[in-house]
Structure 1
Amino acid sequence: MTCAVAYFRTSSQTNVDGDSVPRQRAACAAHAARAGLSIRHEFTDAAVKGADRIDARTGFQAMLAWCAEHDCKTIIVENASRFARDLIVQETGFQMLTAAGYTLVAADDPDAFTASTPTQDLIRQVLGAVAQFEKANLVAKLKAARDRKSAQLGRRIEGPLKDAAQVAAARRLAPDRSLREVAEAMAEEGFRTTTGTILSAAHVSRLLKDTRLASCAAPA
C-alpha cells in the first residue's frame, strides 16, 4: 500500500484535549482505507492558527523531515481548513508541497486543493505574478553580486558555487548514512544554514535529488 502521513491541527489549547484530533484521525483513516493508503505516521500542530504559515509550524516541518527520510509523498488532512483557513496560506502551502513532489489530500473532498473557483483562480494568478516578480528580482540581485565579485577578482565568475559544493558533499557523504546523519556530517565540514544550524533532512534530500548539478564532482 502507498505510504501516507496524517496531519492534524488544533486552533486553540482548548481543543488539544477535546475531540478535535480523534475526529481528524478518524476522517483521515477512513479516507486512507477508501484510497488504499497506509498511514505510517501522524503529526500534530497544537494551538496553531489556521492563518499561520506552514513553514512556521513545528509539527508540519517535522512531518516533512520524516517524509523525506522515509520517501513518503502523500499527506492527508481532515479538510482544507485543517491545513489552513487562510486561502493565501492554503494555496501557497499547496503549491510548495506540489513543487516538492507531495500529494496533499483532504479526506472530506479529495479534489479540494485542485478545484477551480473564481477566488482560487484569482489567488493563483496573483501568486504567480508575485513569484515571477520575486524570481526576476532575485536573478537581478545575483547578477549584480556576480558583477561586483567579478570586478574585484578581475575575472568572470558564474554559477551557484555554494550549491554545487553542497550537492557534491551530500553525494559524497550519503552512502550508508541516513539523511540526518548526512546533515550532521556536512555540518562537521562547515555546510550549515545561513543561521549556522544543521541542514534539515528535507534539505539534504533536495540536494541529493538536484539534477541541475548532476555533473558536479566532490571537492578534492
Structure 2
Amino acid sequence: MRKLIALFPLTLLLISCRIGTQPANEQTYTYNIVDTNVEDCFSNNSVISCPSQGESFYGQDAHYQGNVPSYIDNGDGTITDNVTGLMWQSDMGEKITFSEAITIAETLILGGYDDWRVPTIKELYSLILFTGSNGDGIEENTYVRYIGINYFLQPFGDQGNGERIIDAQTWSATEYVGTTMNGDATVFGVNFIDGRIKGYPRYIPGTQTENTAYFRFVRNNN
C-alpha cells in the first residue's frame, strides 16, 4: 500500500509575491502533528487562569491550538486518526514478544485489511494525550490514562500477577541502534499509563528470553 502523505506547516509559512525564498528559520513537514490537547495554564507552582498577551506566564502550550486529537470508531475493531490518517487496532489483546508482534502483523486481517504492521515510535507517540495524570500506584481510578480510552482499549498492569499498575508499556518497531545498561538490546515504547516514552530491554537481562509487552498494530489509511 502507498504511504499516506499530507503536508502540514508547523510554523506559519509567509509567502511574498516579491520574495521567492523561504526564511531559514521556518520549516515544513510532510506529516500532520497532533496537538497536545493541553488546556490548562500554569505558574511556577500551580494551575492558573490562562494569562493574556503581555502578562506573566503568557505563551504556554494552552495558548496555541493545533490539530486537536480526533478519531473515528469504524465499528470493526479499528480506529481512524483524523489528524494523521493512520488506522489503528483498538484492542491490543494480551502481551506478546517483539518477535511475535512482527510475525502476527504480517498475517493479521482486521477490518478487511491485511497490511498491518508494528508502528514506529513517532507514529505510536502521536496517540499520546498530555491531559493524562499519574495516580497513587495502587488504585486504577486515581489515574487518567494518556490515550483516548473512548476509542483505544488500554489496560493497566496486572497487580494480581505481581506487576506494577504502570507495567502496561506499548512497544514500537523502533529499535535502539546501540545497547543500554548491561548491553541490553532495546526497543522504544510508550507507557500510556504514566505518560513516558523510553527504551525497554527486549530480552530478560542475562538471557535470550524475550520480554513481553503490548503492541498496537497500525496501517496507512489509503
TM value normalised by structure 2 = 0.24
Higher relative CO (CA 8 A, sep ≥ 6), structure 1 or 2?
2
Considering fraction of residues, name the structure with more strand.
Answer: 2
Q: Give the number of the structure whose residues are more often helix, by fraction.
A: 1
